[in-house]
Amino acid sequence: MPTYTPPLSPTTTPSGSGGPAQLDVADDLLTLLRDTTTEPRPDTQLEALTLAVAADLPVLLWGEPGIGKTAALTQLAATLDLPLTTVIASVHEPSDFSGLPVVGDDPAEHGVPMAPPDWAVRLVRAGRGLLFLDELSTAPPAVQAALLRLVLERRIGALRLPPGVRIVAAANPRSSAADGWELSPPLANRFVHLQWVHDHDVVVRGLGGTWPRAALPRLAPEKLPEAVAFARRAVCGLLSARPRLVHQLPGSETRRGGAWPSPRSWETALRLIAFATAADSSREVLSLLVRGAVGDGPGFELLASLDRMDLPDPETLLADPANAALPERGDLRQAVLDGVVDAVHRKPDKSRWEAAWALLVRAAETGAPDLVVVPATTLASLRRADWDVPEAIERLTGTVSLSRRADRAAARAAAATQARR
């Protein structure tokens, strides 16, 4: 009579075969799939993230689901050799962040201490780490309120996180979040907001086994005092000229959940400028950071103010117009030429007036000629009766005349188009 033999399960191997179990083989395959490398590769948003982490500022990554926010934080922690602690904010109660009351022997005498959660205790014992607050936009308002002290004061219950712990959060826009909420204004104003988007080339190369390498910025020790002075001068200069930018709470609920200007976020922007200056970061990185701190509008104004701070002094240019170094960018060159003409207007002098004409000639010869039209027209109006017309004016006559003819032609074309309607 034949004997019944049960079918082999996936983890069973025939007796005496000596082959590995199928799940062991599967584990080997998974290990190979997880075996990736990193390479130094320019990545603006990753550089902005690491600089904000170095500045010890809470960062909030905004991005659609599946965009790679969690993977980026995992790789960042591994590269920086920081233990990663992930806390899903939406599945916790407010007491998980404010602490659970623990009644002792004599509450009337000793009070009731607030016991922190186990993950906070582990971070304090380690003395360093990366705390990742995930799914922040799905946390209800009560949990967001409990997170305020953690993000700003770094306190959980009776514990205070050590300086070696950095805080990074991630969130999906409300439209794509599961039961999403808008961030409360007090919580949103404590973060540097970075929009996280995927780069096609990075994704393709990463799926091939090589991802960009995260690295902390290299700060130049000799630049630190200069960087702090530059950052303070930039922020204070802008806010002195634009006092209404000091605090602007947005009107819409959605914008209140993002970056907006306040004394706290301006302090954040100041720190970011100092770190970016000391690290010699690119303008693109600085733009992401300052706009992520104070919002797009004030951020762009701050960037424009930084550009003006780097412009050459008009008096220096007037003193040696033949060797003047003018900015390459058209908007900056225009600002420099306007500043030179304004300097002559404030302190009119024949030699200064002639030096300004020499500068305009140099600008026309080394850049777009149309940039000198308005400064030349204004400078011509400053001529005194006893001042001879310099030869430089003759060299610009053709440029100014051609520009004016082009303006008149454009005006005629616009009028004809309007008449046909």
Distance CA 135, CA 171 (A): 5
> At residue 62, does pLDDT exceed 90?
yes
Helix (H) or strand (E) holding 301: helix 296-309
Please name which of 75, 31, 22, 20 lies closest in space to residue 53, comparing C-alpha atoms.
75
Read off the pLDDT band of 291 (50, 70, 90): very high
Question: Which CATH class name applies to 39-102+112-212?
Answer: alpha beta
Question: 194-208, 266-280, 306-320: which has the highest mean pLDDT?
Answer: 266-280
Domain boundaries, the chain: 39-102+112-212, 221-309, 314-420
Distance CA 363, CA 341 (A): 13
Token pair for 167: 């805080």
Task: Render 333-371 in DSSP notation, one character per residue.
Answer: HHHHHHHHHHHHHHS--HHHHHHHHHHHHHHHHHS-GGG
Integer angstrom CA distances of residue 278 from 79, 170, 228, 274, 282: 22, 27, 9, 6, 11
Read off the pLDDT band of 407 (50, 70, 90): very low
Q: What would the mean pLDDT of 50-62 be, rounded to a whole number? A: 94
> At residue 402, does pLDDT exceed 50?
no
Helix (H) or strand (E) holding 128: strand 128-134
Task: Spell out the residues 6+ positions from residue 360 whose beta carbon is closer than 8 angstroms to its own.
Answer: 337, 372, 375, 376, 379, 392, 396
Question: For 83, which DSSP code?
Answer: -
The residue length of the chain stands at 421
Distance CA 94, CA 100 (A): 9
Q: What value, to the nearest 5°, has the Cα angle with vertex 32 and ends 27 and 36?
A: 135
Integer angstrom CA distances of residue 233 from 240, 277, 310: 10, 13, 12
pLDDT of residue 5: 53
pLDDT tens digits for range 83-127: 999 999 888 888 888 777 676 666 656 566 777 888 899 999 999
Residue keyed to tokens 């300086």: 163
**Pairing assessment for the beta strands 210-212 and 192-195 based on DSSP bridges:** unpaired
Integer angstrom CA distances of residue 106 from 98, 125, 231: 22, 28, 52
pLDDT of residue 127: 92
